[in-house]
């Protein structure tokens, strides 16, 4: 079927240095998946042509560029290599590619340096953050300096889920949380980790301190939407934390400051929960290629075309989802 013109805000790339580092640090089967997928510029362009994607915003996905807890030197080197690779591609093909730059979190000083370099020298379109970085979730006070700089720059932050982590009582140790380790984490744990990170961003006050940051939540915002009333009301009515937070405040902030990409299996069911909280002007197209195989990407694109026609009969609304909203985000680079 012919596809509507679109910008892909959720696509990934695998430079040679990242593949090598992943395999050398026991991340050859990331998050329980079978392998690090194959990627090439030519294959990416072919997918784009088949799906009428005029531009792809690429990023490094989970487990990110800080692969070994405590090995900040490797993380700094790998992050710079990946960002430079993406920048060279986007500068060579500016009409086809942009990128969300990676940071070597939880190394905050190095992340501040890389943020400056990526935005000022490499001209990244925004910053990609994982839901947690070795167990430190977005909203952790340790990351406040990074978010302060993102706020100063009025940056766009693309949030991608990763394997959840658990802290052990009475210890500084943090380990991956794998309650059902027979299943790959992207199957459902990623959804829960998106909710954890988003909730912590609200409850920690990070979102309210960063009114000029634009956030993008992946995969239809994961498990967040049905939990909004619970976490916002619970924080005030049950825990007595003294937070001035209400579900209406959260919903209004989502409508004002957040975008949601529709990568993955959002249709035919999840989308109906998503659109209760955000409208057509906050939805984005995402393929999740190359970590989602090409045949699946094509099948999901067909489902999305059909599903959006049912929910948004107005052609202009669908054009905003596929094209206009991404253009607005890319036009406000911090």
Bridge-based pairing of strands 126-130 and 97-101 is parallel
pLDDT band at 184 (very low <50, low <70, confident <90, very high): very high
pLDDT band at 170 (very low <50, low <70, confident <90, very high): low
User: Count of CB atoms within 10 A of residue 190's CB?
Assistant: 24
Q: What is the mean pLDDT of the chain?
A: 94
pTM above 0.85, yes or no: yes
Helix (H, G, I), strand (E, B) or coil at 54: strand
Residue 246 confidence (pLDDT): 86
Evaluate the CA torsion angle 51, 57, 60, 63 in order and state its sign: negative
Residue 222 confidence (pLDDT): 98
Residue 234 confidence (pLDDT): 85
For 6-20, the pLDDT digits (tens) are 999 999 999 999 999
Lowest mean pLDDT among 86-100, 112-126, 158-172: 158-172
Q: At what angle do helices 247-257 and 228-237 cross, to 10 degrees?
A: 130
Percent of the chain's residues with pLDDT above 70: 96
Instruction: Specify the higher pLDDT residue, 85 or 170.
Output: 85
CA distance 126 to 66: 18
What lies within 8 Å, CB to CB, of 82 at 6+ separation is 15, 17, 18, 60, 65, 102
Tell me: pLDDT of 171 over 80: no
- For tokens 């992207």, the residue is 186
User: Count of CB atoms within 10 A of residue 46's CB?
Assistant: 12
CA distance 218 to 88: 25
In the chain, DSSP assigns E strands to 6-12, 53-59, 97-101, 126-130, 132-133, 136-137, 156-160, 165-167, 174-176, 214-217, 258-261, 283-284
What lies within 8 Å, CB to CB, of 128 at 6+ separation is 59, 60, 100, 101, 102, 103, 157, 158, 159, 160
Tell me: pLDDT of 182 over 70: yes
Domains (range + CATH), the chain = 6-330 (3.20.20.140)
Long-range contacts of 209-213 (CB under 8 A, 24+ apart): 209/147, 209/148, 209/151, 210/147, 210/148, 210/150, 210/151, 211/151, 211/257, 212/151, 212/154, 213/147, 213/150, 213/151, 213/154, 213/155, 213/156, 213/157, 213/257
Tell me: pLDDT of 167 over 80: no
Average pLDDT, stretch 208-230?
Answer: 97
For 24-52, the pLDDT digits (tens) are 999 999 988 989 999 999 999 999 999 99
Average pLDDT, stretch 53-71?
Answer: 97
Residue 334 confidence (pLDDT): 43
Tokens (6 digits) for 145: 């300096």
Residue 175 confidence (pLDDT): 81
CB 113 within 8 Å of CB 71: no
Q: How far is CA 15 from the centre of its chain?
A: 19
DSSP string, 221-238: GTT-GGGHHHHHHHHHHT
Instruction: Specify the higher pLDDT residue, 2 or 43.
Output: 43
Average pLDDT, stretch 234-240?
Answer: 73
For 310-327, the pLDDT digits (tens) are 999 999 999 999 999 999
Residue 237 confidence (pLDDT): 72
């Amino acid at each position: 079927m012919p596809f509507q013109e679109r910008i892909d805000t959720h696509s990934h790339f695998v430079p040679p240095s990242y593949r090598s580092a992943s395999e050398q640090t026991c991340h050859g089967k990331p998050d329980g998946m079978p392998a690090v997928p194959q990627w090439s510029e030519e294959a990416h362009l072919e997918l784009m042509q088949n799906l009428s994607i005029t531009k792809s915003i690429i990023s490094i996905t989970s487990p990110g560029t800080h692969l070994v807890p405590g090995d900040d030197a490797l993380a700094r080197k790998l992050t710079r290599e990946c960002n430079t690779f993406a920048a060279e591609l986007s500068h060579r093909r500016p009409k086809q590619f942009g990128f969300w730059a990676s940071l070597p979190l939880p190394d905050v000083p190095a992340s501040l340096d890389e943020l400056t370099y990526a935005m000022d020298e490499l001209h990244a379109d925004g910053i990609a953050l994982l839901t947690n970085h070795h167990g430190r979730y977005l909203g952790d006070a340790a990351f406040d300096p990074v978010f302060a700089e993102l706020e100063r720059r009025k940056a766009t932050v693309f949030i991608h889920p990763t394997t959840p982590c658990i802290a052990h009582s009475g210890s500084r140790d943090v380990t991956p949380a794998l309650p059902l380790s027979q299943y790959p984490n992207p199957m459902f744990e990623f959804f829960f980790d998106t909710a954890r990170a988003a909730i912590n961003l609200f409850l920690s006050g990070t979102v309210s301190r960063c009114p000029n940051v634009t956030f993008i939540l992946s995969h239809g915002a994961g498990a967040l939407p049905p939990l909004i009333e619970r976490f916002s009301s619970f924080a005030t009515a049950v825990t007595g934390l003294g937070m001035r937070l209400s579900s209406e405040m959260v919903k209004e902030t989502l409508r004002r400051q957040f975008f949601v990409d529709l990568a993955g299996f959002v249709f035919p069911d999840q989308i109906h929960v998503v659109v209760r909280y955000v409208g057509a002007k906050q939805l984005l197209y995402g393929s999740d290629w190359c970590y989602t195989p090409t045949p699946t990407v094509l099948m999901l694109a067909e489902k999305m075309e059909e599903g959006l026609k049912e929910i948004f009969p107005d052609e202009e609304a669908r054009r905003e989802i596929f094209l206009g909203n991404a253009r607005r985000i890319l036009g406000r680079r911090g």
